Amino acid sequence: MTVASDGGVPSGPAAGSSSGLVKRFGRALPALPGLAVLLFLFLVPMAIMFVFSFWRTNNDFVVVPEWNLGNYARFFVEGTYLRTFIKTLIMAGLVTVAALAIGLPFAYFLVRYTGKLTQRVILLAVIVPFWTSYLVRVYAWQAILGEHGALNQILQAIGVIKVPLDIFNYDDPGVFVVLTYIYFPFALLALYASLEKFDFTQLNAAQDLGARPDQAFRHILLPQIRAGIITACIFVFIPILGEFLTPTLVGGAQSSLIANLVLNFLRNDQFAEGAALAIIIAAFVTAIMIVFRKSFRVEDVVTSG
Amino acid sequence: MADLNRHLGRREFLRLAGAVGATAGLGAFLAACGASGATATPPAASSAPVASGAAPSAAATPGPTGTFNWLTWGDHWYQAEMDKIAADIGIKANITSFSDDIDAYTKVQQVGGQIDLVSEDALWVPYFYQHQLIDAFDINSLKVASQLYSVAREFSIWTSPAGYLGYPNGWAPIQITYDPAHVTPGADSWQLLLDPKYKKRVVVEDQPVEVMAYMGKAAGVKDPYNMTDAEVAQAKALLVQLKPNILRLAPQATDTVAALKNGEAWIATINLGADTAVMDQGGPKLTTFTPKEGSIGWMDAEMLVHGGANNNLLMPFLEVHEQAEYVAANFMINRRPLFSEAAYKLLINQGQQELADHLLFNKPETVNTMTLKGPGTSTQAAIAAFNDVFGS
């Protein structure tokens, strides 16, 4: 608020005056809890991890400040970490593609061809599994994918196979299926939110002007739901880089992802060594975000509302 | 490792839940009648693990009451017991579970005397003492200690000039169990795990340091928690052979039991007693053996945390908690040998000698043949080797 001085020149409260500080503090007050969470539960731990990653753990399980790059060198020198990380990226990529491939047509169908009530019911059905713990849902897949699980029993019962399928039994395909199941709802909800705002008459207009359906899809629909697609990719791809529970529960000896290897260090109090691997993953995620931002104009995700 | 088989099977869970319910109902009834629960009922049958009538001497002597903090595994106590102890002597435990020895070590190091009593395995016990995290005590000052096998009061690794370092609880070696319907009988060596005939039929626990330790034993390493680089390489070479045979790395014992029960796995490394859990749950009859090359194992103890804020409650609590009735009931729930000779005799009286002998309850000296679990100098190298094998 500005006030007129005696000379008629408007003037605000002097910068640094006590009333100005109080006002600014008052405006910032609601943000303080969030800032505190960000600072103390994210930035400070990350900073500690970052420092630890350059130290080492001694035989008494104590992290000692002996600066070295050995923990980082391990990732690049011992091939298993790089290979497992690449495998993790491939798994995350495949699951993201699968979630989009399933989610986009489904969301399109929901928004375009069903009424609001049906949409709400179906979306509720998509969300309902979240009411059950992640752990329970993944454990349930053991009973489906196992050698004597529901999938093999059904396939045997209808005569499709004679001996149980082995490919889903504690192996990578099983991990892929379960991760797709777990993360598909995130992709669907992001895509649905984006498609819901799309004006479908634009597709008709494009076709009236001579565009084929696939051209209308590529040139009219996709650009306008880009923000939803990017959000879906971020929601699916990035969490999978830190997935360890699903590979532990439905994966076998061949199915470790990079987080499983990190965890093996952390749960045995080898914090410095685990921290370095975790920092590498975090750095990679940051790099991905930068690439996303530059190549796909991620700010649209925010600004398009 | 010790945590792996410390999970209740469904049957035991139901049995325990029934016992808890029965105890709660009985307690409510006695309270309503104004009667003391301490000596109102005779010792319970083994099928209902509620140690009634335990510790009459402790109950008769007024002592301190209150709540202490106990960091322990889930198989060191059961709810019916804790409820009864609280009712009898007014001591309650605020119990926190942990996953493994190193987890408890980290927690006690961080919070110190906020914990009063902590359970740990074998060589972790003197390790705690060396780091001044626990206090030694005169074990013979506890009357209940006379119920222990004498060998359990004399373990050199748990003896210090200041006294004994922990109250002995239970023990078990890591063994191999197999389904003779699918596996050629007569195996007596770790080599069974490596036989290419059993591709994707073996379950081992998801515990890098322990798996590397018993691969070390298989390779003839004497001290598998303190391996040299060459010994780590030997153990790793065997792990490479083992990998194709592994169906899964089981996060906990219940997963191993389930895989054996439903026939997905034919061979598994287990804590002593897990085979009976498989059979109890309707699984196949298994054959179990301790490998001839030797095995690793654990024996655990309750330790008094240095500076514990409620340590005045610990001796009165142990005096009751370690009574044979409670220990025997605990055995029936968790199926691994404990160090109480009086509990073994009680089990015989209850008609459970066959089970107790099968689980070596009468042979506590067996612990002297095991390589005991403990902190080692090759932990990091073991994890690195494990990761190298199980990574891509």
Closest CA of chain A from B249, distance in Å: 6
Check CB contact of B380 with chain A, cutoff 8 Å: yes
What's B192's domain CATH number? 3.40.190.10
At A301, the pLDDT band (50, 70, 90 cuts) reads low
CB within 8 Å: A170 and B206: no
Spell out the residues 6+ positions from residue B271 whose beta carbon is closer than 8 angstroms to its own.
B1, B2, B4, B5, B172, B173, B174, B175, B253, B336
Residue A16 binned pLDDT confidence (cut-offs 50, 70, 90): low
Which pLDDT score, from 0 to 100, does residue A84 have? 96
| List of chain B residues whose C-beta atoms are within 8 Å of the C-beta of residue A248 | 206, 249, 251
pLDDT at A43 over 50: yes
**Inside any domain, residue B102:** yes
* Integer Cα distance of B274 and B280 in angstroms: 10
> How far is it, in rounded angstroms, from Cα B121 to Cα B98?
13
Give the mean model confidence (pLDDT) for residues B248-257: 91
Q: Is the pLDDT of residue A2 over 70?
A: no
CA distance B380 to chain A (A): 7
pLDDT of residue A298: 53
User: Does B231 fall in a domain?
Assistant: yes
Average pLDDT over residues A41-70: 94
Whether residues B200 and B305 fall in one domain:
no
The answer to whether B102 faces chain A, any CB pair under 8 Å, is yes
Question: How many whole angstroms separate alpha carbon B287 and alpha carbon B270?
Answer: 12
Contact status of A243 with chain B (Cβ, < 8 Å): no
The total of structural domains in chain B comes to: 2
B200 vs A170: CB contact, 8 Å cut-off? yes
Candidates A80, A83, A87, A257, partner chain B, best to mutate (most B CBs within 10 A): A80
- The Cα of B293 is separated from the nearest Cα of chain A by a number of Å equal to 25
Tell me: do B123 and B62 sit in the same domain.
yes
Whether residues B291 and B302 share a domain: the answer is no
State percent of chain B over pLDDT 90.
77
Check residue A299 and give its pLDDT. 55
Mean pLDDT within B358-387: 93
Which pLDDT belongs to residue B27? 39
Instruction: Please say if the pLDDT value at position A5 is more than 80.
Output: no
Least confident of A252-256, B174-178, B191-195: A252-256
Model confidence pLDDT, tens digit, residues B291-316: 999 899 999 999 999 999 999 999 99
Average pLDDT over residues B321-330: 97
| Residue, of A31 and B37, whose pLDDT is higher | A31
User: With bands split at pLDDT 50, 70 and 90, how would you rate the model's confidence at A8?
Assistant: very low
Checking if the pLDDT of A4 tops 50, the result is no
- In this predicted structure, the answer to whether residue B327 has a pLDDT above a threshold of 80 is yes
Do residue B106 and residue B155 come from a single domain?
Answer: yes
The verdict on B231 and B379 lying in the same domain is yes
Check whether B136 has a pLDDT greater than 70: yes
From chain A, pick out residues whose CB is under 8 angstroms from the CB of B10: none
Question: What is the domain range of residue B211?
Answer: 172-296+372-390
Mean pLDDT (whole number) for A132-153: 90
What are the backbone angles phi and psi of residue A250, rounded to the nearest 5°? -115, -5
- Record: contact A169-B106, CB cut-off 8 A: no
The average pLDDT across A275-299 equals 82
Q: In chain B, which residue's Cα lies nearest the Cα of A168?
A: B247
In this structure, is residue B24 part of a structural domain?
yes
> Mean pLDDT score of chain A, rounded to an integer?
88
> Residue B72 falls within a domain, yes or no?
yes
Q: Tell me if residue B164 falls in helix, strand or coil.
A: strand
B49 occurs within a structural domain: no
Q: Which of B105, B106, B248 sits opposite A253 (nearest CB)?
A: B248
Residue A146 has its nearest CB partner, among B103, B264, B388, at B264
Does B244 contact A253 at a Cβ distance shorter than 8 Å? Answer: yes
Please compute the mean of the pLDDT values over residues B57-83 and round it to a whole number. Answer: 86
Mutate to test the interface with B, among A64, A153, A170, A257 (most CBs of B within 10 A): A170
* Banded model confidence at residue B30, pLDDT cuts 50, 70, 90: very low
Query: CB neighbours of A76 closer than 8 A, spacing ≥ 6?
Result: A82
Q: Is the pLDDT of residue B78 over 50?
A: yes
B56 band by pLDDT with thresholds 50, 70 and 90: very low
In B, which residues are within 8 Å of A80 by CB distance?
Answer: 387-388, 391-392
Q: Are residues B290 and B337 in the same domain?
A: no
Q: Is the pLDDT of residue B81 over 90?
A: yes
Structural domains of chain A sorted by starting position, each given as residue range(s) with its CATH number in brackets:
78-303 (1.10.3720.10)
Tokens (6 digits) for B279:
């059979």
Listed by number, the residues of chain A in 20-79 with a beta carbon closer than 8 Å to a beta carbon of chain B are: 57, 59-61, 74, 78
- Say yes or no: B20 and B165 in one domain: yes
Share of chain B above pLDDT 70, in %: 84
Residue B58 has pLDDT above 90, yes or no: no
pLDDT at B19 over 50: no
Regarding whether B86 and B222 lie in a shared domain, the answer is no
Whether residues A170 and B375 touch (CB distance < 8 A) is answered with: no
Average pLDDT, chain B: 86
Nearest-CB residue to A252 (from B208, B247, B392): B247
The string of pLDDT tens digits covering residues A184-196 is 999 999 999 999 9
Do both B292 and B304 map to the same domain?
no
Domain assignment present for residue B96? The answer is yes
Nearest to B214 by CA among B231, B196, B190, B189: B190
B305 in any annotated domain: yes
Measured between CA atoms, the residue of chain B closest to residue A81 is B391
Pair B315, B271 in one domain: no
Does one domain contain both B342 and B290?
no
Q: Following DSSP, what letter does each residue of B200-217 receive, concatenated?
A: T-EEEES-HHHHHHHHHH
SS3 for B61-124 is CCCCCEEEEEEECHHHCCHHHHHHHHHHHCEEEEEEECCCHHHHHHHHHHHHHHCCEEEEECCH
Is B254 part of any domain? yes
Q: What's the pLDDT score for residue A22? A: 85
| Amino acid (1-letter code) at residue B154 | E
Which value does ipTM take for this structure? 0.81
User: Do residues B347 and B291 both lie within one domain?
Assistant: no
